[in-house]
Each structure stands twice: as structure tokens, then as C-alpha cells.
Structure 1
């Protein structure tokens, strides 16, 4: 699998990342082990995890797999920790952030993560205080780089500029946001800001929460996320009339190229300007292997233009 630099930083990641949202929920430790083993064997490096996934179970499972089946040095962990409330404050207060980072490291069973993703932009806390937590984490060796999750364009730009005033160590190298043919919102503000400041986008849900694979065209498969009580609302939000037109365009493109709609949708996101990696989740190793096959597909210019047109949010 090919690798890319994250924005203008020295951090390199596989251009397809493995998300762990279902780990500890619908993916047990054996399935997780098979997924991560197949991913690394194929050249994948970027693994995304968060405290909210299974209430911390996903991070514990990742730590277990890294201690038994996959070497820690073979993966780049992009970790998003929770921000617990308490005597040290909450939100993006320095004490709460560093406490949350320590808890995440304990769950993962490691002494550092490669990319610490701050959970949100907190207007109640001075930006300089939040960035000072990043400085402490970098200087102490607990993280190598930092990023933001779901910022608006102006928020990302503000953090980048303030970070440079503090010497550059705390400047985010990545921003994580939902981005797909069904969700092109980042193109309004976030991607232009990221490109301007040399920050790479980590695109989550690049398959439109599974809708772009075409599996929901004729109904809801019993083994799909759309049939799961916990994840059905997550999928339904992308099953619209506008989405149906886009899905049919993806199916047509896949048929013409002799590939899968999954590969077409994933390749479109992966090669958008400013995208460092597209993060995919999987039910099992076989489904993950199908996603990794998209690594070799490059969409012809005319097909990319047609998909741009049919998915234009305007």
C-alpha cells in the first residue's frame, strides 16, 4: 500500500487507514486481530482509534493485538482520547487533556501515540492553554504529532497560527472530518484552510457510511450496519434521494471500469487535494481486503469529473 506525508509534516501514513469504531461492539478480539494482521501485511500503517469507541474497549483491544500479533513499531496510531471532567477541568483545559492522554496510553498499553487528535475546539478555553498541553505531550514523548477532529476552517486556521507563535511544535499536522461523495462539506472551508496551512485531512466515512458500496440499493441487508439498532441512524442519515443518484453514478462507473463501487468511492476521496488518508472500517478481514484493493485504482479524469458533477452539493 502506498504512503503519503500528512500535510507538510514529516509524518508518513498509508493512504488508506484502518478505523476501529466497531471494535468491542460488533468486532471481537479475534476478528480485530485478523483485521490488523491483514492490514499490516498489505502495507497499511495508519490505525485510528478513539476513547468513545466501545467506551474505551476498542483501544484496549488494539493494545492487546499490538502486544500479541502485530508489532507496535509497524503501525501509526492516530488516537482520539476522551476529555473527562474533574478537578482539573474539562473540555480542552490543559489538565483534562493531559489526563485523558494518560488514560488513553494506559488503555493502549504503549508509552506514546503517533498522532494525538484533540477531540474538539473548545471556545471556553484559551487556545494557548490547549496548545501548551500539546507542547507538554510532545516534549515528554507521549505523542509525536497533534491534530484536530471536526474543526471548522476558521478554527483550524486559528490553531495553526497560534501554534506557530508558540514555536511550531503545537501546530496541528492533521484534521479529521467526514468526507465522501455524499458529504462534501469540508470543501467549503476546512480543506482550503488545511491546504493553506499545510495540514493533511484524514477522511472518515469515505464510503458514505457504507451507502456508496451499493449494498442498500435494494433494501437493508441483515448483516449490515443499517440493520443494527445502534448504527441504523448513522447509516440512515446518508440514505437520501440525492444520495441514490450518486450511488447509481458510482455503480455505473464501477461497471465501466470493471471494479467495485467501493473502490470507485474510496479512490475518489483518497485522491482529492489535501487528503492524506481515507479511513475505513470493516466487519471482518475479507471486507477490509476489499477496501485495500482500492489502493491500486486511479480514476480516469472523465469519470472523476462525472462524479464531481453528480455529487455537487450546490
Structure 2
């Protein structure tokens, strides 16, 4: 699997990342082990988790599998602190105390001395930005994290944080990444987050590149009983994309897949994986079988005409000021 540099750092990550949001809850230890082995065998290196995933159960499961299933030396472990997933339960707290306490807890669950990438999971006005970023600096200088990043930051927040870190003399923790939702169904980050990341040297880690599972095409005829949308804890997460606009985009993806003799998920994933600025697309699979389908996309390249058609059907509406052409202002 291709390895890509993460932003302007010297760290390289696999262009597909293994997401573990369901581990320890919907994905048991047997399936997790099979996923981790298959991912590593395919050349994957980036494993993404968070303190909030399954209330820590995801990190515990990863810790139990490291070295016993795959050598720690062959993986890059990324985790997050500060809050739950967007739209999910849990209070956001990005104070220095909360972040560093969560990092210590994460390391205990992972049974590690350090993580390769530590990320603030969300922005909060309840803590000064300088305090939050100071916690990242302390984590790196104390050896508990190798690199630092942010997640789910708006464009101005991304820019403010990255510029602040650059301005701190002698900083050991410049931001190297931003993790955001990005798919054919959610292209909002193209307005300001992606331009900010490109200008300031942050690699983009795209979460939910399959549109929370909707771009697999599994919901075209209803809600399968074994799908995420059929569970009480994930139904609100998926329902956002069970609308008419999304259905039109899913139809286009399925048409493209038929023409390429590929799976819809392979087409949708490849589109995100190769967008400008994307270092890795992070995909979470509930079962090992689902992950094998995901890994099958690694050799797929989208023809220019198909990419253009998908760009058009999912086009993002831009208004003032992002969508105003240079020279058109008075």
C-alpha cells in the first residue's frame, strides 16, 4: 500500500487508515484480530482510535492485540482526546487537565509508552486555544506522543491553531494533521478547511469516506437488519444521509461501479483517497469480510471522466466569499 507523508512532517502513513470506532462494542476481539492482520498484511500502517470510542473499549482491544496479532513496530497508532464523536454523547473538554488525563488513560488502555499521533477531538470555546495547544506541546516534549494534530476543526480554527504553533519559538509540536469528515456526501471541508490545511502544511485524514456507510449502496432498498442504521446507537449517525440528495449521489456511484466492475464502496473510497491534500482515508469496518472489500480498492484508479461525473453530481455549493471568482469583486 502506498505510504504518504503526513502534511509537512517526516511521518509517512498508509493511504488507507484502519478506523476502530466499533471495536469493543460491535466488533469483537476475533474480528478485530482478523482485521488488524489483514490490514497489516496489505501494507496498512495507520490505526485510528479515540478515548471516546466505546468508552475506551476500542483502545483496550487494540492494546490486547498489539504484538500478539501484529508487531507494534509495523503500526502507527493515532488516538484522540477531548470529546465524543460529532453528534454523539459526551461533553467536550479540551482543558489541559482533561486532555493530559485522557492521554494517560489512553496509554494505559493501549499498553503503550507513547502514541504516534495524538489529536484534539474537537474545538471548544470553554478552554483557551493556547491551553489546549499547550497540552499537545507537553505530550510531545514528555515523550508520550510523537506528533500532534486536530480533528473536526472549522477552517478558521484550523488556521488559528496551526499559525499559533508555528509562532511559538522552539515548539516541538507543530500541527501535522487535521482529521475531518470527507466524502462524496460531505464535501463541506472543501470550503475552508482543505485550503487552510494546504497552505499551512497539514495532512488531511478523512473520516467516514463512505458517507457513514451509505455510499456502499446497502441502503438503496431500505435498512438492512445487520446495518449500523438498524442499531439504536448508530441510527442517528447514519440517518443524516438517507435523503434524496444522497440517494442521487449513491445512484451515480453505483452506476460508476457497474461500469468499472467494482464495488460501490471501492469507487467512493477511491474518490476520497485521491483528493488533493488527503494523506489517508480512514475506514471502519464492522467485520473482517467488510474490511477485505475495502482493501480491494487499493489498486483501483478512477478514470478522469468518472471522477468528473462524481464531482458534478456531488458538487458543493459555494457562496460569498469562497465562491467569488478573483477579480469579480468591486
Q: Shorter-chain TM-score: what band?
A: over 0.9
- 1:124 Cα deviation from its structure 2 partner: 3.2
1:63 is aligned to 63
- 1:234 Cα deviation from its structure 2 partner: 1.2
1:126 is aligned to 128
1:226 is aligned to 229
Distance in 1, Cα, partners of 2:143 & 2:300: 37
- 1:161 Cα deviation from its structure 2 partner: 0.8
2:313 is aligned to 310
Distance in 2, Cα, partners of 1:229 & 1:100: 27
The answer on 1:298 being equivalent to 2:301 is yes
1:267 is aligned to 270
Q: TM-score, normalised to structure 1's length?
A: 0.95
2:172 is aligned to 169
1:53 is aligned to 53
Distance in 1, Cα, partners of 2:97 & 2:78: 21
Distance in 2, Cα, partners of 1:235 & 1:246: 15
Q: Which runs of 5+ in 1 are unaligned?
A: 85-89
2:153 is aligned to 151
Instruction: Tell me, yes or no, if the aligned pair for 1:83 and 1:96 is still in contact at 8 Å.
Output: no
- 1:81 Cα deviation from its structure 2 partner: 2.4
Instruction: Tell me, yes or no, if the aligned pair for 1:83 and 1:100 is still in contact at 8 Å.
Output: no
Q: TM-score, normalised to structure 2's length?
A: 0.91
- 1:55 Cα deviation from its structure 2 partner: 0.6
Instruction: Tell me, yes or no, if the aligned pair for 1:201 and 1:277 is still in contact at 8 Å.
Output: yes
2:100 is aligned to 98
- 1:277 Cα deviation from its structure 2 partner: 0.5
Distance in 2, Cα, partners of 1:25 & 1:81: 19
Distance in 2, Cα, partners of 1:131 & 1:203: 22
2:328 is aligned to none
* SS across alignment from 1:238: coil
Query: Structure 1 residues 35-44 or 130-139, which shifts more?
Result: 130-139
The answer on 1:235 being equivalent to 2:233 is no
Instruction: Tell me, yes or no, if the aligned pair for 1:250 and 1:264 is still in contact at 8 Å.
Output: yes
Matched residue count: 309
1:16 is aligned to 16
Distance in 1, Cα, partners of 2:100 & 2:61: 22
Instruction: Tell me, yes or no, if the aligned pair for 2:119 and 2:150 is still in contact at 8 Å.
Output: yes
- 1:123 Cα deviation from its structure 2 partner: 2.4
Distance in 1, Cα, partners of 2:171 & 2:100: 19
Match of residue 291, structure 2, among 288, 297, 311: 288
Q: Which runs of 5+ in 2 are unaligned?
A: 85-91, 318-330
Distance in 2, Cα, partners of 1:91 & 1:244: 36
Distance in 2, Cα, partners of 1:120 & 1:258: 39
